[in-house]
Amino acid sequence: MVQSKIEKIINGPLLPHEIFFGLFMWITWIRLAVTLGLLHPDSLFYLMFILLNMGVILWNRKWNTNRTWQLRLWYYPVAMNLLYFHMKTSIHHIIPEKFDGTLLAIDQAIIGKNLSLRLIPYYHPILTEFMSFCYFLFYIYLAVSLFYFSFGPLGLFQKFFTGLFTIYGIGFLSYTLIPAVGPWLYLAEAFDTPLIGYWITEINDKVVTSGSNGVDVFPSLHCAVSSFILFFDRKHRPWRFRLYLIPCVGLWISTLYLRYHYFIDLTAGFLLSAFALWLINQWEQNRNQEQDTTRRNIQ
C-alpha cells in the first residue's frame, strides 16, 4: 500500500517535493484554522503560501519555459525560510508543549546517557572552534548549492530541488507535530562546563540563538540536508563531494558536541536523507523512461 502511494507520487503531475511540502502547508494551515480561526493572521499566512504555490505551478504548466520553471522551483527556498521563522510564533498555538523529554527518553533507551553530556570531557577551545566552523559552514554550503544547481541543466536543477525540499517538507511537518528545543536548552543545568571557543564560536552561537524558531530539533535537518547534498554531489559533482566530506562529517558530530540535538534526531535525519535520495533516483528513472517512450512514439 505504501509502495503504491509512493509510485503515485513519482508518476503524478506534480514533482514529489511539491506533494510533501504541500502536505506540510495544508496540514499546518488546517490545524491553525481549526485552532485560531480562518481569518487569524497565522492561518492567512499559510493560506497565502498555499495559493502562491498553486499559482506558480499552474503558470508553469501553462507556459512551460525555463523562466517559469525557475519561478516554480525557487518558490520553495523563499517559502522554506519565511515559514521556518513563522513557526516561532505560530506553532505554540496548536501544540504548546515540547517533546524534549520524550526524545531524551528514546535516547536513553537506545544509547543510555545523553551523548552531548558524554562529550563534556573532550571539550577544548580549538575543538569547539572547529565544530562551530563545521556547523556554520552548513548555511554557506546550502546557499551556494541552491544557486549552483539552479544555473545548471534543468533536469539536474529539478532533481536537486525535488530531493532537498522533500526533506524540508517532511522535516517541517515533523517540527509542527513534535516540537522540541534541544539539549542546549532543555538540559542547560546539566552542562556544568561552558563551551568556550573563539570568534567563529561566538558568531555561530549568535546565529543559532537568534535564528532558531524554538521547535527545530526532530529530525535534525542539518544532518538530513547536509548528507543529502553530500551524496548528491558524490554522484553528480564528485569534486564538491571531496571538498565537503570532512567538514560535513564534522557537522554531524558538532550537532551533538554543540548540544543542539539528541541522537534520535540525527538518526531520523539520516533516514530522511536516504529516503529523499532514493525518491529522486526513482523519479529520474521514471522521467527517463517517459522521455524514451516519447522519442520512440515520435519515430
Rounded to whole angstroms, the Cα distance separating 281 from 295 reads 21
How many folded domains does the chain comprise?
1
So what's the pLDDT on residue 193?
87
Alpha carbon of residue 297 to chain centroid: 40
Q: For residue 151, which of 64, 70, 213 has the smallest C-alpha distance?
A: 70
Domain, as residue range, for 104: 2-298
So what's the pLDDT on residue 60?
96
So what's the pLDDT on residue 8?
52
Rounded to whole angstroms, the Cα distance separating 111 from 264 reads 10
Omega within 30 of 0 (cis) for the link into 16:
no
Contact 171, 272 (CB under 8 A): yes
Q: Is 235 exposed, middle or buried (0-12, 13-18, 19+ CB in 10 A)?
A: exposed
So what's the pLDDT on residue 279?
97
* Cell numbers given for 25: 502547508
Residuewise pLDDT in 10s, the chain (299 residues): 555 555 555 556 899 999 999 999 999 999 999 999 999 999 999 999 999 999 999 999 999 999 999 999 999 999 999 999 999 999 999 999 999 999 999 999 999 999 999 999 999 999 999 999 999 999 999 999 999 999 999 999 999 999 999 999 999 999 999 999 999 999 999 998 889 999 999 999 999 999 899 999 999 999 999 999 999 999 999 999 999 999 999 999 999 999 999 999 999 999 999 999 999 999 999 888 876 665 566 65
